[in-house]
């Protein structure tokens, strides 16, 4: 197997794991890696914060570790950016790995399809929920209207913002989160309904304030995506 590396994106992960698991003797240097690696999972070990996988890539077999991920032995996963560390001792597992790849992300394509199916089944092709009454919700001090959010979405991408609105639809416990649609009465004919993921329990008709991170062009596969999505939102009192 040819090892190619992207060291910078993984630096924080490696530093964190090294603090918890002991400093490796050597880190192999490398360069940017844009190629996807498809491997078969033969063994899974779940540690406190990380997932360790023994995988096969053709005739090559090796261990890799990445952020905590639900993976089953026998499944096929994909990873891209990684670093190789030698003689790495995991205090959590009380085990030393002669050679270990630290990957930035572990992707299970089958699970991605399942997640996309859940979202699609819950939301269908609906992006704007129609209601039978007029909605007019005032913007909380320090917050923004949905019209402002949609109009200047690029400005808020990746930022934490506060919005207010009436809950017009709730899909509970999809991918371990509640999916909430809110409207505040602003926006245009195409953009007036915001989808929010949250652990908060809310009901249709509630008028609430949410604070969360804005993500643009969130793609769940199977042709289903959100142009604007607020993720991991929490409720804010008036």
Task: Map out the domains of the chain as residue ranges.
Answer: 7-108, 135-236
**pLDDT, position 120:** 57
**pLDDT, position 123:** 55
Tokens of 116: 């996309």
Which option is the CATH number for 135-236: 3.20.20.140, 3.30.200.20, 1.10.150.20, 2.40.50.140?
2.40.50.140
For residues 197 and 215, what is the distance between their CA atoms, to the nearest angstrom? Answer: 11
| 7-108 matches 135-236 in fold | yes
Percent of the chain with pLDDT over 70: 74
51 versus 49: which is more confidently predicted? 51
Cβ–Cβ < 8 Å for 84, 27: yes
Tokens of 70: 């639900």
Identify the residue whose tokens are 């993976």. Answer: 71
7-108 fold = OB fold (Dihydrolipoamide Acetyltransferase, E2P) (2.40.50)
DSSP letters spanning 176-215: TEEEEEEE-S-S-SS---EEEEESS---TT-EEEEEEEEE
Backbone angles phi, psi at 62, to 5 degrees: -160, 170
Contacts with 16 (C-beta within 8 Å, 6 or more apart), sequence order: none
For residues 60 and 72, what is the distance between their CA atoms, to the nearest angstrom? Answer: 19
Lowest mean pLDDT across 29-38, 122-131, 156-165: 29-38
- Give the helix ranges, DSSP H, for 88-140: 109-123
What is the rounded average pLDDT of the residues 216-228? 72
What is the rounded average pLDDT of the residues 74-88? 87
Cβ–Cβ < 8 Å for 179, 193: no
Q: pLDDT tens, 101-160?
A: 999 888 877 666 565 555 555 554 456 677 889 999 999 999 999 999 999 999 999 999
């Amino acid at each position: 197997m040819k090892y190619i590396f992207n060291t910078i994106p993984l630096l924080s992960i490696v530093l964190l794991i090294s603090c918890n698991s002991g400093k490796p003797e050597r880190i192999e240097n490398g360069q940017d890696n844009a190629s996807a690696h498809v491997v078969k999972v033969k063994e899974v070990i779940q540690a406190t914060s990380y997932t360790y996988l023994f995988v096969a890539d053709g005739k090559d077999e090796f261990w890799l570790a990445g952020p905590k991920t639900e993976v089953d032995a026998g499944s096929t996963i994909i990873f891209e950016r990684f670093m190789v560390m030698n003689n790495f001792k995991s205090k959590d597992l009380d085990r030393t790995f002669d050679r270990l790849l630290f990957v930035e992300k572990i992707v299970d394509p089958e699970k991605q399809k399942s997640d996309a199916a859940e979202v699609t089944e819950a939301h269908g092709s609906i992006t704007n929920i129609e209601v039978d009454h007029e909605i007019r919700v005032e913007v909380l001090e320090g917050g923004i209207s949905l019209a402002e959010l949609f109009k200047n979405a690029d400005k808020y991408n990746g930022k934490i913002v506060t919005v207010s609105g009436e809950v017009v639809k709730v899909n509970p416990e999809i991918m371990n989160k509640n999916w909430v649609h809110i409207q505040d009465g602003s926006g245009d004919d195409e953009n007036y309904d915001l989808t929010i993921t949250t652990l908060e329990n809310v009901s249709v008709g509630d008028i609430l304030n949410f604070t969360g991170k804005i993500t643009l062009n969130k793609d769940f596969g199977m042709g289903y995506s959100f142009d604007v999505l607020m993720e991991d939102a929490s409720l804010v009192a008036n």
